[in-house]
Amino acid sequence: MLRCLYVDLDGTLLGRDGALLRAGDGSFSLLGARALEACARADVEVVIYSGRRQLTCFYDARVLGIGAYIFEAGAGVVLDGELQWLTGDFVPRDGETVFDQIEATGAPKLLLEHFAGRLEYHAPWHTGREVSHLFRGRVDAFEADELLERSGHGDLRLVDNGGIHPIGPGMEDARAYHLVPRSASKGRAVAWHMRARGYRREDCIAVGDSREDLGAAAAVSSFWLVANGLERDPTIRGALTQNCRVCKESNGAGVYEAVMTELAERR
């Protein structure tokens, strides 16, 4: 039986402008909500795994009727009201957030200077964060990680969290990036939640649109990449593993496709 669905929000379950009831092109769609309904009918737990802030995910989960969520690209998990940090040696202490500690390393400034003109803070969503420094632009995350390593910041990494809706001229191909502790990842957070719930690999699937979402493939039986994820980043096809499947549909319709296919195949 399918027991748990891990699903990304922006670019996956949500459509244009982060709306549940909109498709990627902005048209009205109930398919994302129907995917959640199908899970409820089949007694499948739904867990958000997102780059959004903890408080934002709290309200998202409340609106969607979800009891667990993973926030800031795997930096933390909230399970039935209990918070678990997954940030390694970076932990909130002495009044300092993990965000503050990362700021103090100088790594954000390093990235902004090195990728000047190609990377900037993702205003206004970069404020009020507890862990990750959120950027937007178009850079090679692997190149960024090599730069961080060479500069003595090997305990940090830059996460490519997928495409964003264009918010101005020149941003048509912009992507969201999170600077996080190296130990933090969506895949690790999914695995932590599975252990906490006692789920087996074959009990769970994940749906997402980015390379960071794809990290969950190592923990679950099937990872589904929504069609718009491949359209925005064709190179991601080379990173797909044997248990990855590509949806024919985008955004919420793709999540619905994945859920209904999995439920039908498991009968």
Check whether domain 98-181 has CATH 3.30.70, yes or no? yes
Neighbouring CB atoms inside 10 A of 175's CB total 23
What CATH number matches the domain at 4-86+184-265, 1.20.120.790, 3.30.1330.40, 3.40.50.1000, 3.40.190.10?
3.40.50.1000
Residue 109 has what pLDDT? Answer: 97
Tens of pLDDT, residues 72-81:
999 999 999 9
In the chain, domain spans: 4-86+184-265, 98-181
Q: What is the rounded CA–CA span in Å between residue 232 and residue 155? A: 29
Q: Give the pLDDT of residue 78.
A: 98
Rounded to whole angstroms, how far apart are CA atoms 241 and 219?
A: 12
In this predicted structure, what is the pLDDT of residue 68?
Answer: 97
Mean pLDDT over 33-41 rounds to 98
Give the Å distances, CA to CA, from 67 to 58, 64, 88, 109, 180: 9, 9, 24, 36, 24
In tens, the pLDDT along 131-157 reads 999 999 999 999 999 999 999 999 999
Query: Tell me, what's the pLDDT at 202?
Result: 97
